[in-house]
């Protein structure tokens, strides 16, 4: 029987909770460092929960959509057409800042 995929809970500053498969969550360099850096012990490692108080739920949801997009197409070849990732102009700046912070 295959092992069940571990889930990570991301929590926004306004309390929105988003659950992601660990493999997808690790597409974020920040999340990866928090969960895998053996030199630094984060409380998040034992709880599989990471809070981002400075990121709103709407923006965190868009970032997680991008993480899934990145995971899905990361091993794509030039023979396969990769669709554009849509971004609403109204949230572009805030989304860019969150993506930079989350290293994704």
What dihedral angle (degrees, nearest 10) is formed by the CA atoms of 47, 101, 13, 39? 30
Q: N- to C-terminal Cα distance for the chain?
A: 32
pLDDT of residue 20 exceeding 50, the answer is yes
Q: What's the CATH superfamily of 7-102?
A: Potassium Channel Kv1.1; Chain A (3.30.710.10)
What is the arithmetic mean of pLDDT over 30-55?
79
* HSE of 15, CA atoms in CB hemisphere, 13 A: 0
What residues does each domain of the chain span?
7-102
22: Cβ–Cβ under 8 A, 6 or more apart, which residues?
Answer: 5, 6, 7, 8, 35, 48
Predicted model pTM? 0.82
Residue-wise pLDDT for 57-102, tens only, equals: 999 999 999 999 999 988 766 556 788 899 999 999 999 999 999 9
pLDDT of residue 42 exceeding 80, the answer is no
């Amino acid at each position: 029987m295959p092992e069940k995929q571990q889930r990570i809970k991301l929590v926004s500053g306004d309390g929105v909770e988003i659950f992601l498969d660990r493999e997808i969550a690790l597409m974020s360099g920040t999340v990866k460092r928090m969960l895998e850096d053996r030199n630094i012990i984060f409380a998040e490692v034992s709880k599989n929960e990471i809070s981002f108080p400075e990121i709103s739920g709407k923006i965190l949801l868009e970032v997680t959509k991008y993480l899934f997009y990145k995971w899905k197409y990361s091993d794509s070849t030039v023979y396969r057409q990769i669709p554009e990732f849509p971004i609403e102009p109204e949230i572009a700046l805030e989304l860019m800042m969150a993506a930079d912070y989350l290293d994704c």
